[in-house]
Amino acid sequence: MVLEKIEQVPVLLTQLFRLPTIASLLLHFLDSFGQKSPLDAMSDNLSGRRNEISHDEILVPLYFLDRDELWDTVKPYSFHYIPKEDIPLHNLLRSTHTTRIRSMRQLIPQLSLDSQGFEVHTIETKMSYSDFHDEKTVESVYVRELEDHLKVTLAAKEVRALDFQLRLRDAEFPYFGGKPFPKPQPSLMTHVDVTPDAAEGIVRELYGEAADEILKSRFRIITIWRPLRVPVRDWPLALCDATTVHQDDFIATDVIYPNYQAENWMLHFDGAQEWYWLPDQSENEVFVFKAVDSEKRFALACPHGAFPLAEPDNDTPARESIDVRLLVMDADIEYPKPKPWSTRE
């Protein structure tokens, strides 16, 4: 059975966010399209309405996991490598839905991590454009800037970066020719990076015996997403207001790598969901959004996904962005040195 084989994959939660090159989502989510562009498939559903754009709101296609009785007995999964066994790369049933996405620009002062699950922060950085392409500089400078920023703005006792992803939209994206892209691409499927159970496992893996005390207090996993080429008019990121998402819109999904297994949430479509984007986002306007919050009275998570704004022209820079996931902890303890935060090869 497929699920029996999946259960045998080791779980190394400290490596949850390591995404090897072959793990490009397109390899798995778009294989059923063959040589056909997913934009073509999206357009089939939109009947020519994909470019109905005003500055305040747009109608665009977003990918969602289908609601299906299959999930009553089978857990969704996706391999992010080519397994030796004769196992399908994924069992995801997904569809595009024409979705109204509103501008958040006039709402920025009212946005709240505790309510909507996302905010827009202005974060200056010492990093140059080229610095973001050097992993050691990202780790030694940019990651530390973000840890310090969240420690102050969220009044946290400890902030620990988990991983980062530099996403460089390939010229062929979203066309898929059967070969993995050299760099991570924009994420087409609407999702949340990690489930609460997986997040607790991360804390335990990183902090060992101290985890019990850490977990008694509030902890969060926060993503900070920064565009590197602006203005962002090529595959921008859409964020969903957490107050408009119901628990049954989420479905836990196994994400399987060569040496470990992670768990995230895929999202089902619901017409009540409210989605937002930031038109002409600048390089210092960064998204800060939640994947997990242990405090039940606040918003749990902010689903997100990329979308095609319009047909690009020669003056539209291909999207480049960097997202960093950080563990934010409120326990008032003496924090031990955690295991290495990055185990990427």
For residue 317, the model assigns a pLDDT of 77
In a domain, 291, yes or no: yes
Q: How far apart are CA 230 and CA 320, in angstroms?
A: 9
Q: Please measure the distance between the N-terminal and C-terminal CA atoms of the chain and give it in whole angstroms.
A: 31
Question: In this structure, what DSSP letter does residue 150 have?
Answer: H
In a domain, 322, yes or no: yes
In a domain, 47, yes or no: yes
- Of 4, 244, 209, nearest to 102 by C-alpha is 244
In a domain, 334, yes or no: no
Are β-strands 237-240 and 304-306 bridged in parallel, bridged antiparallel, or unpaired?
A: antiparallel
Number of domains the chain contains: 1
Q: How far apart are CA 212 and CA 77, in angstroms?
A: 30
**Positions in the chain short of pLDDT 70:** 1-55, 170-186, 310-314, 340-345
Q: How far apart are CA 240 and CA 254, in angstroms?
A: 22
Q: How far apart are CA 7 and CA 23, in angstroms?
A: 19
Residue range(s) defining the domain that contains residue 225? 2-329
In a domain, 154, yes or no: yes
The sign of the CA dihedral 77, 83, 85, 90 is positive
For residue 46, the model assigns a pLDDT of 36
Q: What is the enclosing helix (H) or strand (E) of 187?
A: none
For residue 188, the model assigns a pLDDT of 80
**Residue tagged 């020669």 (tokens):** 314
Q: How far apart are CA 218 and CA 285, in angstroms?
A: 27
In a domain, 88, yes or no: yes
Name the amino acid, one letter, at 203. V
Query: What number of other Cβ atoms are within 10 A of residue 154's Cβ?
Result: 17
For residue 239 the two structure tokens come to: 């964020």
| Strand arrangement of the beta sheet that strand 118-122 belongs to | 118-122, 285-293, 219-227, 320-329, 158-168
In a domain, 155, yes or no: yes
Q: How far apart are CA 241 and CA 302, in angstroms?
A: 7
Residues 6+ apart with CB under 8 A from 108: 119, 120
Q: How far apart are CA 19 and CA 126, in angstroms?
A: 26
CB 169 within 8 A of CB 184: no
Q: How far apart are CA 264 and CA 274, in angstroms?
A: 21
In a domain, 345, yes or no: no
3-state secondary structure of 59: strand
CATH of the domain at 211: 2.60.120
